[in-house]
Chains A and B, each alone.
Chain A
């Protein structure tokens, strides 16, 4: 089984205040920590588990700056055999279709059975790259996958998590793109010894020219999505707690609703 796993470095916005930088189109990331996107981490583990059970190779792919190399090496320490990092300032990275084109271009001429990636990136939340990549590669996709069973006849069975916890089980012919939902497994730890050993594995850094992708197909001029602005919504109201006995509470609530013209 030849597997490619696409991962992205994202900021952890939970520990520091999110501020928009002076361009108005990006977040001031100076106080954030960065790590692998959560769902992508589960995709790496899924890829490694498939390799352990069915042999084959795992290639890690990421589009991003040099600082992503740590995350890539960690994925390689867990079981990735080699890696590609694509970096080119001409790519309109806010457009998921452009990103999908670039990632697909790095994979399409190679032999592959599975392309795994997280179902969603925690920073922009488009949930589109994996699915669009399947289109670019001309292969089927299964999204939001919580379980994978390799059937052995060039097919896999994948369970998709739907609303209300409902599971949909589908069979898909390989090659295919699978977008992984968090919780499919428990991602392992990449020990430092493994990260050091992973330094010896091949990590190629590629530009659009290396991939043979004309810049005018993935730059801002080619994009159907243009980022206009980012802003932090203004807090305009606060929650009000109604105190008192049940009868008093009901009366106060009714009064608020009536006075506010809500009923």
Chain B
């Protein structure tokens, strides 16, 4: 797997990504959701990358930055290859030359210097905790669920409530938990997607060392992007799960009582990093369906076929030039056709991209995008 610390220094690009395994069937390009609005053609790029002399030229193609790392190509590949990682590899060539877009440069530098890609100070990472009674992890004390917040949830006021509501819920139901202190640092999921493999490896080493200081059975991530990154880490002592897995378990065993009614027509959007990349499809649905009053709906494209919102793959810092309709807008139009009042998600990036789409389409009156924790917060 690309991104894991291993000796790739002496491997050719073709060897690193097993390009000769590709049979050019084209399932990657046929399934790639961004091809409808950009020039990205994964099959062609994989084919062209055989020629190592072309790599520099290929790395400068703007469409290399259009990939949102949804992993549809990898899910569909009959040979088990990951065209998405070939694109990360091309991005890596540009990153190593230093000549990346200023927005990408700033995100990478901020992660290196301050442990988050948002240009925020490390010292303000825990401002979201203000006024809350949060249990902070102590290396001497065993804890069942050790939470990892995610940079976007920690800093972005739109999604800070994911962490805040989680604290309120865990406190209310007396769940054994703790959050990391100020040492928490970026998981580097998006850094790897932006092609800065070395920074990802550095972050991975630091995080593994940090997590292993604590006595815990499992690490619970609030973002599926952190979950995906942690699963690439080597040497973690604890299991890593997404919060929807924990909550589904707590709802099932009756620890959490969701008896307050929520009268909404909810359609659930599978985040690519939770569904396609971690096979977590049922738990978010189980949580939402257990709330009385909820009329649960499915998108036509759901589960493995879920349409990407274009928030992953470092796209938060690498804008696509295409003026064609954003996939998030297509998604919101689909939700409108279903007459949904809430588009529920379990990923901070999906909240941000879909929220923008609701505003761009002028549907704010009839519909809202809500993180599952946002909805549960309303029931507390």
Contact = CB atoms under 8 A, between A and B. Distances in A.
B120 A33 contact: yes
Interface residues of A, number: 23
B109 A35 contact: yes
Nearest to B195: A191
Nearest to B123: A31
A69 to B, nearest CB: 12
Interface string A20-63: 00000000001111110000000000000000000000000000
A220 B110 CA distance: 35
Interface in B89-139: 95-100, 102, 104-105, 108-110, 112-114, 119-124
Interface stretch (A108-116, A166-174, A181-189): A181-189
A74 B97 CA distance: 14
B156 interface: no
Interface residues of B, number: 25
Contacts of A34: 113
A64 B35 CA distance: 50
A230 interface: no
A186 B232 CA distance: 33
Interface string B50-83: 0000000000000000000000000000000000
Contacts of A74: 109
A93 interface: no
B198 interface: yes
A16 B123 CA distance: 9
Contact of A189 (B100, B124, B202): B100
A200 to B, nearest CB: 16
A202 B6 CA distance: 29
A133 to B, nearest CB: 27
B123 A187 contact: no
Contacts of A70: 113
A160 interface: no
Contact of A31 (B105, B124, B196): B124
B199 interface: yes
Contacts of A78: 98
Contacts, number: 62
Nearest to A33: B121
A194 B109 contact: no
Interface string A175-216: 000000000001111111111100000000000000000000
Contact of B105 (A188, A192, A193, A196): A188
A188 B98 contact: yes
B108 A189 contact: yes
A33 B119 CA distance: 8
Contacts of B110: 33
Q: Which of B98, B104, B112, B123 is the most central at the interface, judged by chain A CB atoms within 10 Å of its CB?
A: B98
Nearest to A79: B98
A163 interface: no
A34 B123 CA distance: 11
Given A33-B113, A33-B114, A70-B113, A192 B196 contact: yes
A188 B121 contact: no
Nearest to B121: A33
B119 A189 contact: no
Given A33-B114, A78-B98, A194-B98, A189 B123 contact: no
30 contacts: A12-B119, A15-B119, A16-B123, A16-B124, A30-B123, A33-B114, A33-B120, A33-B122, A33-B123, A34-B113, A70-B113, A74-B109, A186-B102, A187-B105, A188-B97, A188-B105, A189-B95, A189-B99, A189-B100, A189-B104, A190-B109, A191-B95, A191-B98, A191-B198, A192-B196, A193-B198, A194-B96, A194-B98, A195-B112, A196-B198
Interface of A: 12, 15-16, 30-35, 70, 74, 78, 186-196
